Amino acid sequence: MRDRPRWAPLELVSSALNRDERAVEGLIAAIWPGCFRLAATILVDRDLAQDAAQEACVIVHRKIGGLRSAEAFDAWLYRVIVRETARVRRRQRTSDCAPDLAANVGDSTSIDVWRALAELSPQFREVTVLFYFDDLKTEEIATILGVPHATVRTRLARSRTKLRQILGDYDDRLDLMSGETPQHAV
């Protein structure tokens, strides 16, 4: 993965790889907020996100010793979280979950964006969140999701189209809908 804030300091991940229980506990504490944030953004439901993030942290605790290197941690953790959000979503379908997160967002534009995200299919929401919210390259998203690069680009394009339809009144006021491709887009 490229240069950006790591999920946790490399030294902490290295210590956790060596099964240092204090380091593993410290690692879980360091990654928890990001795990919850990513799960909540993908699932658009705080309760389900709590379940997915907790399960992801349990997996990290159990399986960190089997990771090949500390440098592989970020990509591995993304895969774990995305897999757990999919598992939790399958286990318990929700119909209208946008108000749960939207209630704590603040302005009406943000609430509308959350509601629009909730209307996307899970596959479109995943790529949109990873691309725009986590600033990942499309190649990185393809690796995380285990799909071809072209699939990610197609899902992202269809997601943009759907969001433009949902948020049509906002035109260019939203960076997400401005039609500009972020610098890291490939």
Q: Which tokens belong to 64?
A: 């960190």
Mean pLDDT of 90-118: 61
Burial track 142-181 (b if 16+ CB lie within 10 A, e otherwise): bbbbebeeebbbebbebbbebbbebbeebeeebebbeeee
**In the predicted model, is pLDDT for residue 91 greater than 50?**
yes
Name the H helices within the chain.
10-17, 21-43, 46-63, 73-91, 98-102, 108-119, 122-128, 138-145, 149-166
Is the domain 96-186 a CATH 1.10.10.10 member? Answer: yes
Q: What is the pLDDT of residues 13-48, one digit of tens each?
A: 999 998 889 999 999 999 999 999 999 999 988 899
Q: Any idea which architecture 1-94 has in CATH?
A: Orthogonal Bundle (1.10)
Q: Where are the domains of the chain?
A: 1-94, 96-186
**In the predicted model, is pLDDT for residue 186 greater than 50?**
no
| Residue whose entry in the numeric block shows the structure tokens 């790529």 | 127
Q: Please state, in angstroms and rounded to a whole number, the distance separating the CA atoms of residues 89 and 86.
A: 5
pLDDT band at 180 (very low <50, low <70, confident <90, very high): very low
Q: What is the pLDDT of residue 148?
A: 95
- How far CA 64 is from CA of 27, 105, 140, in Å, comes to 10, 34, 21
Query: pTM of the prediction?
Result: 0.73
Q: What is the pLDDT of residue 141?
A: 93
